[in-house]
Amino acid sequence: MAGPVSMIELQTLVHSTEDLEKVRIALLNNIPPSDRESIMITSNRMFGHYKNPICLLKVRIQDEQLLNRTIKYLSSKLQDPEKARIASKLDLMSDRSNSLYLRLDKQMAYEGNLQLGRYDPIRIKIRVSPRWIRSKSISSLCKELGIVP
């Protein structure tokens, strides 16, 4: 039987002033260390408003075992104050399409610490399987997954 999470998508922007490899490491630090080698990161080069080069890095996880390991890893790396902040703003961090949206500080992620951030973050979208959300609220499911206390 499939788990409660059907997909996790991580993405972040690499600005021209940033080191691509360091941002790639920051993105991968949201995934269990044992799985980082097997993760495929896609990149899309674009230009900003003032024609400055920007690169979008994106990871999409759909494998059930990797989804489960990643959720456990994220919940173990988030500190209790961060989990409390998520719980208090859960209505703003989730939507009707059964998704939870987290924005993590890119610099802290590079250092191996997962902390909520608002400016130039690593964006994580966690899509909950529709059959799980029918029987539980997003709040109770996040508690079960360890994302909120």
Look at residue 93 in the predicted model and tell me its pLDDT.
94
Q: Which of the two residues, 53 and 130, has the higher pLDDT score?
A: 53
Look at residue 132 in the predicted model and tell me its pLDDT.
76
Structural domain tally of the chain?
1
Query: What stretch of H or E contains 69?
Result: helix 64-77
Reference 26, options 125, 127, 121, 126; nearest CA is 121
Q: Is the pLDDT of residue 2 over 90?
A: no
Look at residue 135 in the predicted model and tell me its pLDDT.
66
pLDDT tens-digit series, residues 71-109: 999 999 999 999 999 999 999 999 888 899 999 999 999
What are the CB-based long-range contacts (under 8 Å, 24+) for 102-109? Answer: 102/126, 104/30, 106/12, 106/23, 106/26, 107/26, 109/26, 109/27, 109/29, 109/30
pLDDT band at 147 (very low <50, low <70, confident <90, very high): very high
Confirm whether pTM is higher than 0.85: yes
Domain of 125, CATH number, reads 3.30.1440.10
User: Going by C-beta distance under 8 Å and a sequence separation of 6 or more, which residues neighbour residue 133?
Assistant: 98, 141
* Domain around 121: 5-145
pLDDT tens-digit series, residues 19-71: 999 999 999 999 999 999 999 999 999 998 889 999 999 999 999 999 999 99
**39 vs 29, 34, 59, 67, 111, CA distance in Å?**
11, 10, 7, 12, 19
Say if residues 58 and 44 touch (Cβ distance below 8 Å). Answer: yes
